[in-house]
């Protein structure tokens, strides 16, 4: 009986153990699940477009120059006999101050010769006028004599009695002919004297012109400053022989200064966006003296008509108001800022977001959307575009190697 109970107990233990092992195997066996394919879309960074007021900005560099720089010359050759007081490089002189004087000896001699020639011609003219007056009196006398003889002859010829001889009639006719001949000679003489008189008068006019020119040249032997300014590059000394149109120095007008600067590349395109190509616009200029920066304003008053190939840009000139002349030195190197407010709201987008200057990519529902744009200007910190109802939309600022319309992307978490 005990052996039967023991056999049953052992069988029960074996069965329980088998069940436990089976359960353990079932729970630990590998499961065969279907594998899901995961797609890794490109990661992009986005930002929201914001419409607001912007300005077109141009930064350039230039120098302060004088509006007038005169090359100091003398109109002829000569010798310097005197130099004005305190004439030296860098000196400020006033309008009318003497620069130098050239020896006037030759001009004075020419004037004396011309004056003597004029006196001789004037005396000759007086003689001709007197001769013409005498000839006119003779002409009147001959006319009277001719008329008397003509009356006598007509009276005789009209007499029907024929009291007068043919010989007397012939004598009257010869006398009349002689008077007519003398009268013609007299008229010819008057004409010749008139021509001679006009010739000498023309000589007088020519002498007067030359003498006026010499007198002007005599005044110009004293070379004075035509305007106030600073002297530079002087090359004059007493006793120096100078040649025709030789450059002896420069005079720079320091009362009328301007800024000369050049603009090229994308800035030239920006300049064309200004009314009248920037003429009349106010610029801000900044220059450095020691460790301190100074600022002033100037107004663009003219622009070169053609591109300068040497500087790959175009030159502009801006006049400096008289109120700033005491602050800014001639020849100073300056930084120029030109700014114009955009009339309507605009959007600034990063340079990396613009493709071919034509379009950008927006993000909508996880996909790229190609969007055409209209560029206002290119700034150093981005591209300024027209709003076109883009404000509030998300623009992709990550530049991928292969970006296309409707391309799926993932947003890079910040």
CATH of domain 106-220: 1.10.287
Pairwise CA distance, residues 55 & 268, whole Å = 16
Residues 6 or more apart whose Cβ sits within 8 Å of residue 204: 118, 121, 122, 125
Domain 46-56+345-411, what fold? 2.40.420
| Structure confidence at residue 25 (pLDDT) | 64
Pairwise CA distance, residues 14 & 40, whole Å = 54
Asked if residues 340 and 346 have their Cβ atoms less than 8 Å apart, the reply is no
| Structure confidence at residue 145 (pLDDT) | 82
| Structure confidence at residue 37 (pLDDT) | 45
| 68-103+222-251 matches 106-220 in fold | no
Pairwise CA distance, residues 80 & 88, whole Å = 15
Q: Is 285 exposed, middle or buried (0-12, 13-18, 19+ CB in 10 A)?
A: buried
Max Cα-Cα span within the chain: 231
Per-domain residue ranges of the chain: 1-29, 46-56+345-411, 68-103+222-251, 106-220, 253-341
Residues 6 or more apart whose Cβ sits within 8 Å of residue 207: 114, 117, 118, 121
Pairwise CA distance, residues 153 & 168, whole Å = 9
Q: For 309, which DSSP code? A: T
Domain 253-341, what fold? Elongation Factor Tu (Ef-tu); domain 3 (2.40.30)
Rg of the chain, C-alpha, whole Å: 54
Residue 239: HSE in the Cβ half-sphere, 13 Å Cα cutoff: 0
For the record, the structure tokens of 179 come out as 């008077």
Q: Show the CA angle centred on residue 331, arms to residues 327 and 332, nearest 5°.
A: 55
Asked if residues 27 and 321 have their Cβ atoms less than 8 Å apart, the reply is no
| Structure confidence at residue 345 (pLDDT) | 81
| Structure confidence at residue 34 (pLDDT) | 45
**Which ranges of the chain have pLDDT less than 50?**
32, 34-38
Pairwise CA distance, residues 191 & 274, whole Å = 74
User: Which of 208, 216, 214, 207 has its CA nearest to residue 106?
Assistant: 214
Q: Right CATH number for 68-103+222-251 from 3.30.450.30, 1.10.357.10, 2.40.50.100, 3.40.50.300?
A: 2.40.50.100
């Amino acid at each position: 009986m005990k052996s039967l109970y023991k056999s049953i107990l052992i069988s029960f233990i074996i069965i329980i153990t088998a069940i436990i092992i089976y359960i353990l195997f079932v729970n630990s066996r590998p499961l065969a699940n279907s594998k899901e394919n995961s797609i890794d879309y490109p990661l992009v960074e986005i930002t929201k477009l914001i419409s607001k007021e912007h300005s077109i900005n141009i930064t350039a560099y230039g120098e302060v120059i004088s509006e007038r720089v005169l090359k100091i010359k003398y109109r002829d050759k000569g010798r310097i006999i005197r130099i004005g007081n305190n004439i030296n490089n860098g000196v400020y002189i006033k309008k009318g101050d003497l620069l130098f004087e050239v020896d006037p000896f030759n001009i004075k001699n020419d004037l004396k010769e011309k004056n003597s020639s004029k006196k001789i011609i004037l005396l000759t003219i007086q003689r001709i006028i007197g001769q013409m007056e005498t000839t006119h009196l003779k002409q009147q006398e001959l006319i009277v004599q001719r008329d008397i003889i003509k009356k006598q002859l007509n009276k005789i010829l009209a007499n029907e009695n024929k009291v007068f001889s043919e010989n007397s009639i012939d004598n009257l006719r010869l006398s009349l002919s002689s008077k007519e001949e003398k009268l013609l000679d007299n008229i010819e003489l008057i004409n010749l004297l008139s021509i001679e008189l006009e010739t000498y008068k023309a000589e007088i006019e020519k002498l007067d012109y030359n003498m006026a020119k010499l007198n002007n040249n005599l005044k110009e032997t004293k070379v004075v400053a035509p305007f106030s300014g600073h002297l530079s590059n002087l090359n004059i000394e007493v006793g120096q022989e100078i040649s025709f149109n030789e450059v002896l120095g420069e005079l720079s007008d320091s009362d009328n200064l301007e800024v000369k600067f050049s603009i090229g590349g994308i800035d030239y395109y920006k300049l064309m966006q200004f009314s009248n190509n920037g003429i009349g616009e106010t610029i801000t200029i900044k220059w450095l003296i020691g460790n301190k920066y100074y600022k002033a304003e100037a107004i663009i008053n003219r622009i070169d008509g053609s591109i300068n190939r040497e500087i790959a840009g175009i030159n502009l000139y801006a006049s400096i108001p008289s109120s700033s002349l005491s602050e800014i030195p001639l020849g100073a190197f300056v930084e120029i800022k030109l700014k114009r407010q955009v009339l309507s709201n605009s959007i600034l987008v990063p340079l990396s977001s613009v493709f071919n200057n034509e379009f950008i990519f927006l993000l909508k529902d996880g996909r790229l959307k190609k969007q055409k744009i209209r560029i206002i200007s290119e700034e150093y910190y981005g591209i300024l575009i027209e709003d076109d109802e883009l404000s509030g939309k998300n623009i992709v600022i990550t530049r991928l190697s292969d970006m296309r319309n409707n391309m799926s992307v993932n947003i890079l978490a910040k």
